Structure 1
Amino acid sequence: MEHNAIRILLADDQVLFIESLKRVIETMDPAISVVGIAHDGEEAIRMARELEPDLVILDVRMPKIDGVHAVEHIRRLQGQSKIIMLTTFDDDEYVHEALAKGACGYLLKDIEPQKLVDAIRAAAAGTVLMSETIASKVIAQMLSKTSEKTQSTPRLMKSRPDWYHELSYREREVAMLLAKGLDNHEISNLMFLAEQTVKNHVSSLYKKLDVKDRSQLIEKLKPLRD
């Protein structure tokens, strides 16, 4: 094992899947070391406490304690391990609850092996990650809530700025995430876009919002935080 290896704990009740996943990860990137495998939520919590891995990868549905509640227990017992969900379930309830309880990522099992390895590295470094379909749903919901708030705002109160309605859908997505405090790299991972593409959208926002630097842009995007 390399000195600076990323130590991960895998948790899934499907034995064949989890053993295959271990082999794939360690074969594709020798700098990632699987230090433990758990087959239910209770075992995952115990092993996370004992092994203190850099990253825990959990399935959502597992015996004894499900993955979502395991996130809560692991975060409470030791807060240094990053946690991502790797599952077949893309239900909104699972996604929101897992992220609310402290998971930093939600990926689907149909992810390509190389993208999974890249995601492990990014998550270990602190990046928030979601599968493309999940990210699209979450961002769409954020934009929908923004629209609902605008429509329900009394006329005497300030609604969304005029410039917001001049943005393309993609620009609104990027603007919303910038307003939430994400940087270009985090946005590119979340939206599954090249970082240069995100930079292009940010440059377009500079022009449309008539700002000269990042601090001015963030200041102008403040109305999108609510």
Structure 2
Amino acid sequence: MIKILLVDDEPLLRLGFRLVLESQPDLSVVGEAADGEAALARTAELDPDVVLMDIRMPGMDGIEATRRIVRAHSRSRVLILTTFDIDEYAFPGLKVGASGFLLKNVPPEDLLSAIRAVAAGDAVVAPSVTRRLLDTMAAQLPDPAARPDEAGPATERGLDRLTERELQVLTKVAGGLSNAEIAEELVLSEGTVKTHVGRILNKLQLRDRVQAVVLAYEVGLVRPG
């Protein structure tokens, strides 16, 4: 059973999400919160597997709440829900540790799939959406002082620990390719690509694929656009 905490300042939205989620035999809504402070308290109390997090709320917003939940309750994974396709808070939300980014009007079946994926330790931002999001938010990214094969930000962030093949895979991931597409381009099996992605996350101490993409942009392994 996947335990879910709903965080949104709109009671009707929480009710709608609850009705959809509790129609599934493997999902259970264990609690609700209307702001970031309450989300922190309820996460500590209920230990949910997945926190569905709104961004814009009174008091502590969803970004700060996500930051604190990831830091203090790393087992609980955060899935951000927003009204806008490209929200100025989406990139900061992913950067502080959210495991996904979805629109509130997402089809129910996609929301259910996303929750299950996040609970299993995966990221739920589709590669194409990740690429477009980071391109749009490029102004917020620092200008790397050096390329990844030179001393500088890349070395500091641990990319020098990756093998040549792992670096190739990371570049493809950051370029918006799925595991199947990477496998085709690099002439590998999809299982091998998945193994490489897992090793990349472990070596770089990243939570998921989304954070790997963010890091690749930050150090200049790929460039927006």
For this structure pair, what is the TM-score category when the shorter chain's length is used for normalisation?
A: 0.5 to 0.7
Match of 2:162 in 1: none
1:58 Cα offset (Å): 0.5
Find the structure with the greater CA-based Rg. 1
Would you say the 8 A contact 1:14–1:39 is kept in 2?
Answer: yes
- Note closer, same or farther for the CA distance 1:7–1:44 as it changes in structure 2 (3 Å cut): same
Question: Which residue number corresponds to residue 32 of structure 2?
Answer: 37
- Counterpart CA distance in 2 for 1:82 and 1:74 is 8
With over 3 angstroms needed to count, the CA separation of the structure-2 counterparts of 1:180 and 1:114, relative to structure 1, is: same
CA deviation after TM superposition for structure 1 residue 68, in Å: 0.5
Pairing partner for 1:84 from 79, 84, 88: 79
Confirm whether residue 203 of structure 1 aligns to residue 151 of structure 2.
no
Distance change (3 Å), C-alpha of 1:141 and 1:65:
closer
Give, in whole Å, the separation in 1 of the partners of 2:119 and 2:72. Answer: 18
Indicate the SS of the match to 1:85.
Answer: strand
Contact conserved, 1:111 with 1:131, CA < 8 A, in 2? no
Residue 56 of structure 2 is aligned with which of 61, 68, 85?
61
- Is 1:104 aligned to residue 85 of structure 2? no
TM superposition shift of 1:102: 1.0
Identity %: 35
Structure 2 unaligned blocks of 5 or more: 151-165, 200-215
1:106 and 1:124, CA in 2 relative to 1: closer, same or farther beyond 3 A? Answer: same
- Cα distance in 2 between the residues matched to 1:97 and 1:142: 9
Cα distance change of structure 1 residues 134 and 24 upon mapping to structure 2, 3 Å threshold: same
Pick from 8, 18, 22 the counterpart of residue 4 of structure 2.
8
Alpha-carbon distance in structure 2 between the residues aligned to 1:142 and 1:40:
25
Would the alpha carbon gap of residues 63 and 8 (structure 1) be closer, same or farther in structure 2, given more than 3 Å must change? same
Letter in 1 for 2:180: K
In the TM superposition, 1:159-198 aligns within 5 A as: 178-179=169-170, 198=179
Aligned pair partner of 2:18 in 22, 25, 42: 22
The structure, 1 or 2, with the larger RCO (C-alpha pairs under 8 Å, 6+ apart) is: 2
Superimposed CA distance per residue, residues 150-182 of structure 1 (whole angstroms, 9 cap, x where no aligned partner): xx98xxx9xxxxxxxxxxxxxxxxx99931596
Q: Which has the higher helix share?
A: 1
Residue deviations 1:68-97 (CA, integer Å, cap 9, x gap)? 000012122221101110111344541221
Supply the RMSD in Å over aligned alpha carbons: 3.9
Structure 1 stretches of at least 4 aligned residues deviating more than 4 Å after TM superposition: 139-144, 213-216
Distance 1:206 1:141, change over 3 A: farther
Matched residue, 1:172 = none
Distance 1:97 1:18, change over 3 A: same
Offset at residue 25 of structure 1 (A): 1.2
1:70 aligns with 65
Superposed displacement of residue 101, structure 1: 1.0
Give the TM-score, by structure 2 length.
0.64
Equivalent pairs, count: 177
What is the one-letter code of the residue matched to 2:12? Answer: L
Q: 1:113 to 1:177 in 2, by over 3 A?
A: farther
The letter of the residue matching 2:187 is Y
The verdict on how the C-alpha distance between 1:113 and 1:203 changes in structure 2, with shifts beyond 3 A counting, is same
Cα deviation for residue 63 of structure 1 reads 1.3
